[in-house]
Homo-oligomer: A and B are copies of this chain.
Amino acid sequence: MKTRSLFEITKLFPDAKVLHCPDPNLIHFTEVRPLSHTEGEFLAVLNSKAFVKEAKSSLAKVIVTTEELAALLTEARVCLIVKNAELALIEILNYVHPPAVPNGKISPHAIIAPSAKIGSGTQIGHFVTIGENAVIGNNCIIADGVKIENDVSIGDEARIGMNCVFYHGTRIGNRFTVFGNTSIGGDGFGFTFANGKHNKIPQVGKVVIGDDVEVGSNCTIDRGALTDTIIGNGCKFDNMVHIAHNCKIGNHVIIAGQSGLAGSVTLGNHVIIGGACAISDHLTLVDGTIIAGGSSLRTSPKTKDVYIGWDLGLTYPEFQKYRVNVKNIVHLNKWIKRIKDLESKLGIQVEDPKD
């Protein structure tokens, strides 16, 4: 851990100003940590009113924050005032922990088909295989153990995680990042039952992925059946996300961990799907729809609300009312008894519903 001065950091932000600090050369830190961290000399970021209390008692040597939030710190603390604290955090982290850059070496233990094209500056790890007519862009890192079949194309500046596999014909844009053990382009799940067995429908579509997409570890993205599975630009998927065949996903879509789309789902731009969600086949979510984590969706919501809840198509405000009533459901039989007692008192006879 290298010691750095606040002065170094100010150079990253020409428009930033320093508060309560006569000489930024004399303020030092070794790490970037959360406000609540308790050890070492660290810089921290205050990016929300929710954390002002934490900031006040923070042991941080420097707090990076906005003018507005700094004004809420009653004590005189060393602050670096920036326009957007989250973006500043990213810049500082990239300075303190510079991301790996491709070393341009192709492992002698990689097996690359003669017809494959590898861009300049690209690093290919050990025990990688790259098939015929595959095209890998410039300045990529293809980590150890990656397997790439024939006719795959991957754009520039890709970061392909260890032991990922890419089936034939997969086409991926620039600045693609994926973590370990993800499988892209395996067959979609399509069978037709006849003659006493499930007969496989050949899956002849491809996977087509745009620019600036990030995919986590151990994800699966299936090739299309008769058309392609399509993922737009700027999408970000967490670990163990499953995208079935023929899905069409717009731009800047977020899907959190362990969520899955069944076949032929269409997602508009800027859709956000929380973790552990299941989206049924052929549903459509319009631009900007948000599905809360842990939800199952069985019908297409009509609007771009926040949806939540098991299979119930509830919006978030409805769900909050639903949740209040769970304690009533637990006693529903007692309330039904009271309805029947009332009827009995009034001499009304009604037949009870039968299953």
Q: How far is the CB of A240 from chain B (nearest CB, A)?
A: 5
Inter-chain contact A341/B348, CB cutoff 8 Å: yes
Inter-chain contact B165/A145, CB cutoff 8 Å: yes
List which A248-288 residues lie within 8 A (CB) of chain B: 252, 254, 256-258, 260, 262, 275-276, 278, 280
B163, B187, B212: the one contacting A163 at CB < 8 Å is B163
Contacts A147-B163, A202-B93, A294-B298; A338 near B330 (Cβ below 8 A): no
Interface string of A169-205 (1 = CB under 8 A from B): 0000000000111110011010110101111111010
Inter-chain contact A342/B346, CB cutoff 8 Å: yes
Q: How far is the CB of A85 from chain B (nearest CB, A)?
A: 9
B182, B183, B336, B345: the one contacting A348 at CB < 8 Å is B345
List residues of chain A with CB under 8 Å of any chain B CB.
Answer: 32-34, 37, 84, 86-87, 89-90, 93-94, 96-97, 99, 109, 111, 125-127, 129, 143-145, 147, 149, 161-163, 165, 167, 179-183, 186-187, 189, 191-192, 194, 196-202, 204, 212, 214, 216-220, 222, 226-227, 234, 236, 238-240, 242, 244, 252, 254, 256-258, 260, 262, 275-276, 278, 280, 293-294, 296, 298, 309-314, 318, 321-336, 338-339, 341-343, 345-346, 348, 350, 353, 355
16 CB < 8 A contacts A-B: A84-B194, A86-B199, A90-B192, A127-B127, A145-B165, A161-B183, A165-B180, A180-B186, A183-B239, A189-B256, A216-B220, A218-B218, A257-B262, A258-B258, A314-B330, A328-B333
